[in-house]
Chain A
Amino acid sequence: MILDGKCPSGPLSEKWDKRCRELKLVSPANKRRYKIIVVGAGLAGASAAATLGELGYNVEAFCCQDSPRRGHSIAAQGGINAAKNYPNDGDSIFRLFHDTVKGGDFRSREANVYRLAMLSNNIIDQCVAQGVPFARDYAGYLDNRSFGGAQVSRTFYARGQTGQQLLLGAYGALSRQIKAGSVRLHPRTEMLDLVLIDGEAKGITVRDLVTGKIESYSADAVCLCTGGYANVFNLSTNAMGSNVTATYRAYKKGAFFANPCFTQIHPTCIPVSGDHQSKLTLMSESLRNDGRVWVPKMKGDKRPAHEVPEAERDYFLERRYPGYGNLAPRDIASRAVKEVCDEGFGAGSSGRGVYLDFADALKRVGKEKIKERYGNLFEMYEKITGEDAFKQPMRIYPAPHYAMGGLWVDYDLQSNIPGLFVLGEANFSDHGANRLGASALMQGLADGYFIIPYTIADYLARTTPGKAGTDNPEFKKSREDVETFTKKLLSVKGRKTVNEFHRELGRIMWDNVGMTRSEEGLKRALKLVPELRAEFLENVKVPGSGADLNQELEKAGRVADFLEFAELMARDALLRNESCGGHFRAEYQMPDGEAKRDDENFCYVAAWEFSGIDNAPELHKEPLKFENIELAARSYK
């Protein structure tokens, strides 16, 4: 099937206005008759739930954590992009749009990205009004810094905790609606199934993580804002609880999963220190504003950094990408780091790391200024490694960080299942094959504050409120399915723990579906993953019962989904016989090692339809058209 993103016709800059004019409205008196479920309480979820509640809808909001202030958006460090052009350095909505499409290696939808760039300015206004303490200059105006893949300074920031401050803004707005009674909050509750009535999304099945009770919630529409799936690699910068369960189970109910192989490996993370490692910690991309990346010119050089003279250092990003230098986009920087380490130039005892050196910046602007800009990041680095980055360079290595892929949505953020909307990282829409830094926060908030309130009304206006209650047989069936699966996990009583399986899956994925992929490796993964999955169902050990708080059971359910999803990811990567953005296939590269895109055959979104766990999923394509930007080879040189 050829999918249609339903983008409005007409000039790029008028598309969203045009769509807004076409969209149906729900009158204030009628809004309270509609119920909307919002799953997830990160930036996308909290902003959507708050805004929909404020408009007068009845909102049921769900999150796994104990409080909606803890979604993993909170860990975003560096900043949020907007086309304000406050620094007068040549930025514009079109340039932000252009940079984002180019950064995504021409695998995103033009109309969506342009809308995102337009709304970016409203987001900054909104957040300032909420009291987000963005950095200011001495005259009291907002300050900006630069991020990867841009030649202008358009990133707004609140020290190294921009995600935290934006999320607290959205959490405040959400708290206000909870107090007002328009949003009912369900913390420590995990969505385990999507319920369809007559082919439309009308509710969810959840597990109360404290009592273990499996419960149904019905609504007129469902919004999934459940984040990304980078934990399929086990070790990633995501929170321990980040998972694919909500989106994957929606996929199993018929929602298309788009571009699952587009995952982002972030170049600047603290390297792995041992087998016990449970997660990887990101060091913000903003550090590359002042830090210079280098390795010794001599292979296997084990001298401490300060003993390597200037002439014997290779500033490989500056050398290879003089136009952008240390601020080359993430996919390109990550690959360059991996390459120099693979070739044996890596720093540190493991050789899996490169230096991020602040010595020049410290000389140029002084320690106080660097502390003001990145103080908390330096502290964080010291706590984990025991090293002081003011005295010696940081050691960094790439780590899985973000999922550009996600559930397929049209221009209205509605999936192919009517009534199912997908927001933020959980959808696939705006970042193509690679996301630029400081754009995830922008997308989450654009979706939640400014897009969904308009587009969901159009769907609701065409439906009768309260169409199905939880007494509908579909809900009962869904509850039974979830209960059966829970019982199954508990009854295996095997010998290996959930973590052991997750670690093994992570190794398979990192080795074969990680930064560099090949046909051989992907086929290996397609053989190993189903084997591991079969072993999981026969040999996993989940202690305790389903009748109370059981963290191993929660993890087991999530890893079970990762074990299925991993196969989809490998399949998608195998199909895409090209290199683009974060998806790098060893067979498809330029003579100089850069990614070789194939626009003739792969300029489309690959959207997969589930057709049973033992069958290959069906592929649907949404062709991508570029009418406003020339489809050109991406160069950062």
Chain B
Amino acid sequence: MNLTLFVWRQKGPAEKGRLEQFNAKDISPEMSFLEMLDTVNEGIIKDGKEPIAFDHDCREGICGMCSQVINGVPHGPQEKTTVCQLHMRNFKDGGSIYIEPWRARAFPVIKDLIVDRSALDRIIQAGGYISVHTGGVPDANAVLVSNDDADAAMDASECIGCGACVAACPNGSAMLFTASKVTHLAMLPQGQVEAARRVCVMTEAMTQEGFGNCSNHYECQAACPKGIRVQFIAKLNREFIRAQFKGARRESPQ
């Protein structure tokens, strides 16, 4: 396969970026998208130029590191697939591919296709956990969890924290990301004690980090490589309202 690539190049956060054209020659349809970029990069290096910088690590769709908008769609055209799992057989020989970084106010570009997603970490730091100390916990079977609840918690906690939901959202909202963690823990008996406080501090952190609000476009669900559903956003809203009735103490993240 031969392809024309238009890749976002940006030297640093303060620099102006632009699309640069590359020719990807002799690409095998068996290659993954990132292996195609590896091949292009080898050529760029041999030409004595700086290769395209992009985030990637596990290359099996679980670490959440890879993050590219391909032809306008975060993680590219295939449903429920990260960039690293996307294979070139999904593209047409002779076609053009536009590759850009995640674009959102809360994700400043570091270089080329690499963005800073630490805002997502800070949402979790605000309260996306159960505050249990190491040791001194009851036997694992002491508290029963229904099969359905465990399944629902697992559905929500499959989120890999890649940020595609934010990149897909016209408002740059991190609602799906936050909702998945809120739901995961709210489905489990162990997570109940802090549930009201958790939903408040996490949504507060989300706003402070510069993420937008949710206005029900559902682009996040369409872009999510793990199939996290927008129903979890409804669950977050329900938890949030319930927390207001309970008069949860609102703590703003520092």
Q: Which residues of A contact B (CB under 8 A)?
A: 47, 50-51, 54, 65-70, 72, 74-75, 84, 86, 122, 124-131, 133-142, 158-159, 161, 164-165, 168, 171-173, 175-176, 178-179, 185, 187, 210, 239-241, 273-274, 276-279, 281-282, 379-380, 383-384, 386, 449-450, 453, 495, 497, 499-500, 541, 543-544, 548-549, 551-552
Contact = CB atoms under 8 A, between A and B. Distances in A.
Nearest to A498: B45
Q: Counting chain B CB atoms within 10 Å of each CB, which of A141, A241, A543, A548 scores highest?
A: A543
Nearest to B124: A175
Contact of A499 (B42, B49, B64, B157): B42
Interface of B: 11-12, 28, 30-32, 34-35, 38-39, 42, 45-46, 48-51, 53, 55-65, 78, 80-81, 85-87, 89, 110-111, 114, 116-118, 120-121, 124-135, 137-141, 143-147, 150-151, 153-154, 157-158, 160-161, 184-185, 187-188, 190-191, 253-254
Contact of B157 (A133, A380, A495): A133
Contacts of A383: 61, 78, 81, 85-87
A241 B63 CA distance: 12
Contacts of A67: 64, 117-118, 120-121, 161
Contact of B137 (A129, A137, A552): A129
B58 A74 contact: yes
Contacts of A541: 45-46
Given A168-B157, A497-B45, A549 B53 contact: yes
28 contacts: A54-B134, A65-B57, A66-B117, A70-B58, A72-B63, A74-B58, A74-B62, A129-B138, A131-B188, A136-B146, A138-B147, A172-B130, A175-B121, A178-B125, A179-B125, A179-B127, A179-B254, A241-B57, A276-B28, A276-B31, A277-B35, A279-B59, A281-B59, A282-B60, A453-B134, A495-B46, A543-B50, A548-B12
Contacts of A240: 56-59
B87 A384 contact: yes
Contacts of A129: 130, 132, 137-138, 190
A66 B141 contact: no
A278 B83 CA distance: 14
Contacts of B53: 549, 551
Contacts of A122: 135
Given A176-B129, A187-B118, A131 B134 contact: no
Nearest to B88: A276
Contacts of A75: 58, 60, 62-63
A131 B189 CA distance: 9
Please give me the 7 A-B residue pairs with the lowest Cβ-Cβ distance, nearest first.
Answer: A172-B129, A140-B144, A129-B137, A133-B153, A133-B154, A128-B140, A136-B150
A133 B188 contact: yes
Contact of B128 (A128, A134, A172, A453): A172
A173 B137 CA distance: 14
Nearest to A168: B157
A499 B43 CA distance: 12
Contacts of A282: 60
B55 A276 contact: no
Main DSSP-derived SS at the B contact region: loop
Contacts of A86: 141
A163 B78 CA distance: 25
Given A72-B57, A449-B134, A164 B62 contact: yes
A273 B34 CA distance: 15
A499 B37 CA distance: 13
B150 A172 contact: no
A141 B144 CA distance: 6
A499 B38 contact: yes
B6 to A, nearest CB: 21
A125 B58 contact: no
B221 to A, nearest CB: 17
B28 A142 contact: no
A210 B110 contact: yes
A185 B124 CA distance: 14
A140 B157 contact: no
B55 A66 contact: yes
A274 B110 contact: no
Nearest to B31: A276
B134 A136 contact: no
B134 A386 contact: no
A125 B125 contact: no
B132 to A, nearest CB: 5
Contacts of A84: 140
Contacts of A161: 62, 158
Nearest to A127: B140
A158 B150 CA distance: 9
Contact of A69 (B11, B121, B126, B146): B121
Contacts of B117: 66-67
A125 B63 contact: no
A50 B129 CA distance: 12
A321 B204 CA distance: 58
Contacts of A127: 140
A278 B38 contact: yes
Contact of B57 (A50, A70, A210): A70
Residue of B35, B51, B60 contacting most chain A CB atoms (<10 Å): B60
Contacts of B127: 179
Contacts of A126: 132, 134-135, 137
B31 A274 contact: yes
B209 to A, nearest CB: 14
A65 B132 contact: no
Most chain B CB within 10 A, of A135, A137, A281, is at A281
A175 B62 contact: no
B63 A131 contact: no
A70 B64 contact: yes
Contacts of B157: 131, 133, 165, 168
Contacts of A168: 157
Among the interface residues B50, B53, B58, B161, which one has the most CB atoms of the partner chain A within 10 A? Answer: B58
A278 B59 contact: yes
B125 A159 contact: no
A552 B51 contact: yes
Given A131-B129, A282-B60, 12 more contacts: A65-B63, A122-B135, A126-B132, A129-B130, A129-B190, A172-B129, A240-B58, A278-B59, A541-B45, A543-B50, A548-B11, A551-B53
Contacts of B60: 75, 279, 281-282, 380
Contact of A131 (B58, B125, B139, B191): B191
